[in-house]
Structure 1
């Protein structure tokens, strides 16, 4: 089972699909994405299900929520009046976490290795041979897929549960 996409990831997907930059995804653009992930619909079915010929980012999030698993970590977007404010707060937090992630992801491959963690902690004066810190154990504590690396969602989980 794959991890649900985070808000930053969804924003990137939306922006990449919005070829003309108008802030809207047409049913054609949305249908292309759905076909790529195995949800085959005709344009007529898709337009009928969303009730319009294009969606803005907020509507895209609601649509994503309707087709994604409702597992832990998924974005819960309600129809409440304050949902746009919640999205803005989540976006700011997500952006901050992504910027922090990029500091640790030294080679830019989208993962934090034990060596990268050790290097950054060392530069920050938070790690040396005598410190007793084991970067491998730090990563393993939050490495949910056990690949020896932290992806952004694992890093986010680590930051939200160790900082809070």
Structure 2
């Protein structure tokens, strides 16, 4: 398993084991309730998923780059849902 797959697997485990559904996970990490995850909120998610602190910032940037289809450098609910759907397939 490559590093990307390992990270996505840890995120899937976090969402599956600690939340009733992806919406609950999204709402939990959306600290300010604006309907979007900013980088610091993605980093908090990665921390909970036990992603190494050494690479957490880089991984957050890559996740935002990869799943931010609106180009606002944030992850909204639709983008989060799409990311979770890809993780489940991976």
Q: Fold match, TM over 0.5? A: yes
Deviation at 1:139, TM superposition (A): 1.2
1:134 aligns with 2:79: no
Give the match for residue 108 of structure 1: 33
Whether the aligned pair in 1 keeps the contact of 2:46 and 2:56 (CA below 8 Å) is no
Q: Per residue, is there more helix in 1 or in 2? A: 2
The equivalences for 1:26-41 within 5 A come to none
Higher relative contact order (CA 8 A, sep 6+): 2
Alpha-carbon offset, residue 135 of structure 1: 0.5
Equivalence for 1:147: 72
Count matched residues.
70
Structure 1 pair 115–162 and aligned structure 2 pair: CA distance change class (3 A): same
Relative to structure 1, the CA distance from residue 108 to residue 97 in structure 2 (aligned partners, 3 Å threshold; closer, same or farther) is same
Instruction: Give the drift of 1:131.
Output: 5.8
Gaps of 5+ in 1: 1-94
Could you say which residue in structure 2 is the equivalent of 1:122?
A: 47
Which consecutive residues of structure 2, in runs of 5 or more, have no partner in the other structure?
1-19
Q: Deviations over 1:57-99 (max 9, x none)?
A: xxxxxxxxxxxxxxxxxxxxxxxxxxxxxxxxxxxxxx82211
Higher Cα radius of gyration: 1
